[in-house]
Structure 1
Amino acid sequence: MGYYVPVESGVKLYVEDLNPNGSKTIVFLHGWPLSHKQFEYQFNILPAMGYRCIGIDWRGFGKSDKPISGYDFNRLADDIRTVIDVLQLDSITLVGHSTGGAIAIRYISRYNGYGVSSLVLVDAAAPIGFTEETADRLLEQALNDRPKMMREVTDTFFFQYITSSFAEWFLQLGLQAAGWSTAAIILTLRDEELYADLPKIHVPTLIVHGIHDKVIPYAQAQELKQKIRNSQLVPFHYSGHGCFWEERDKFNQLLMQWIG
């Protein structure tokens, strides 16, 4: 089931809601510059196992509206709060990948974990995102040859072999975003950091991270483990930045064990 949720005047977010009568709810926040569809290999399995799975496309990405502004972590977290309120969600497991992990952290911090019973950070872009050098290179490409940028992102994303067909599908997920929102998030990842948010996380937190991640180094996951109390770190030894696909069976089993 797919529908739109208004988050401010003139801006609606697309929500994919699978198995709405499921006994436990998982909310998925995708990474930059993708969409909820990156979790296809979770959505294939988890709803049939009795879980309600909700994928949210952030503003500017996927099927959501694409306003010119509103791409800082506070606004993105506010959007998630609105969706949680409108859908009357409670006791959810919030799963955030990469930049989605950063948004999840800001949400927990900003709203005192409202509605969230546990947090899962997947290759999270935290406590920092892009270095200035990386951000400037990606920004130049995003503003001048975005398909080339997305091709290079795809090439560095995975540790395991991907087929040309899969690479093309992945590329198209990124190109569904607007150019301006793609660029705006690069700036957010360069200019914002989340150190002050980490002590405010009070829900049980599972940190999963590919040890071969070339996008967000594994060392950042170790730092999150040190700074988030009541957290657990599980390394994925055969993954880069995409353990949700590269080791999807292990990932799905771990998620189900975590939620119970």
Structure 2
Amino acid sequence: MGYYVQVEPGVRIYVEDINPGGNKTILFVHGWPLSHQAYEYQFNVLPGKGYRCIAMDTRGYGKSDKPWEGYNLDRMADDVKGVIDALGLRNFTLAGHSYGGATVIRYMARHQGHGVSKLALFAAAAPSLTRRPNFPYGMPKENVTQLVNQTLNDRPNMLRGLKELFFFQNISNALGDWFFDIGLPAAGYATAKVAISFRDEELFSDLGKICVPTLILHGIHDKVCYPELAVAQKEGIPDAKLVWFEFSGHSLFYEERDKFNKELMEFIEG
């Protein structure tokens, strides 16, 4: 079931709510430059195991409204809170991939983990996706600037190139086309502005403010959010468990989907 939630005047967020009668709730936040559809291979399985799976398209992406402003971690975290409050969610698992992982970390710090009982991070873009003087492990900033420029000049070609960046395993051409199609409905300016956000923003001080059990899932071949980011998350979050995915890049939710789903369910049930 799909519906819209207003998170500020004139801005509606699209929400897909699968198995509303499920016993345990997971709110999924997708990464750049995708939509809730990226979690298809979770939605094929988890609702049948009794989970209520809620997925939002962040502003600028998928079916959500595409305002000119608001593409930073604070506003994205506030949008997540708007969805949580509108649906009255309590005692649920909050989950995020890539920039969505950064968004849910900022939510936990900015809103004191309101309503969340557990946190799940998938290849999260934290504490910094890019290299800094005190953090030499991220992607060079100039690489992200190149993505921004490609987005503003030939976004379809940029999206095509992400197949090689996101996947470690060989995938079919059809799946590559599907992945490409997920990114197309986004606004070009939203795609560029979020890239600027994950290039320039950081979450070092946010990690220690997370006060719920946290699961970190990360592919060892990730070329976007390097494995060192997962190590930093494990060290910075007080109650965190890190599970490596040996045959995955940035898209572990597809590349090792059976292991991914199993680890997520065991974490929620534990």
TM tier, shorter chain? over 0.9
Matches within 5 A, 1:99-248: 99-130=99-130, 131-248=140-257
Cα distance in structure 2, aligned partners of 1:89 and 1:98: 23
- SS of 2:149's partner is helix
Gaps of 5+ in 1: none
User: What's the counterpart of residue 8 of structure 2?
Assistant: 8
Partner of 1:22: 22
| Structure 1 position 134, deviation (Å) | 1.3
In structure 1, distance between residues paired with 2:124 and 2:179: 19
> Secondary structure in 1 aligned to 2:202?
coil
Q: In 2, distance between residues paired with 1:158 and 1:135?
A: 18
- What code does the residue aligned with 1:106 have? R
> Does 2:62 correspond to 1:74?
no
What TM-score comes out, normalization by structure 2 length? 0.95
User: Partner residue of 1:98?
Assistant: 98
TM-align CA RMSD:
0.7
- Count of residue pairs brought into register by the alignment: 260
Question: 1:201 deviation in Å?
Answer: 0.5
Structure 1: which amino acid aligns with 2:48? A
1:247 and 1:136 mapped to 2: Cα distance? 30
Which one-letter code corresponds to 1:11 in the other structure? V
Looking at structure 2, the residues matched to 20 and 64 of structure 1 have their Cα atoms a distance apart, in angstroms, of 20
Poorly superposed stretches of 4+, deviation over 6 Å: none
The share of aligned pairs that are identical, in percent, is 56
What do the CA deviations read for 1:109-160 (whole angstroms, capped 9, x no partner)? 0011001000010000000124321121001100000011111112210111
User: Which ranges of structure 2 fall in alignment gaps of 5 or more residues?
Assistant: 131-139
Cα shift at 1:191: 1.2
Distance across 2 between alignment mates of 1:57 and 1:24: 21
Could you tell me which amino acid in structure 2 is paired with residue 36 of structure 1?
H
The letter of the residue matching 2:225 is: I
AA of the residue aligned to 1:225: K
Match of 1:250 in 2: 259
Distance in 2 of aligned mates of 1:29 and 1:179: 19
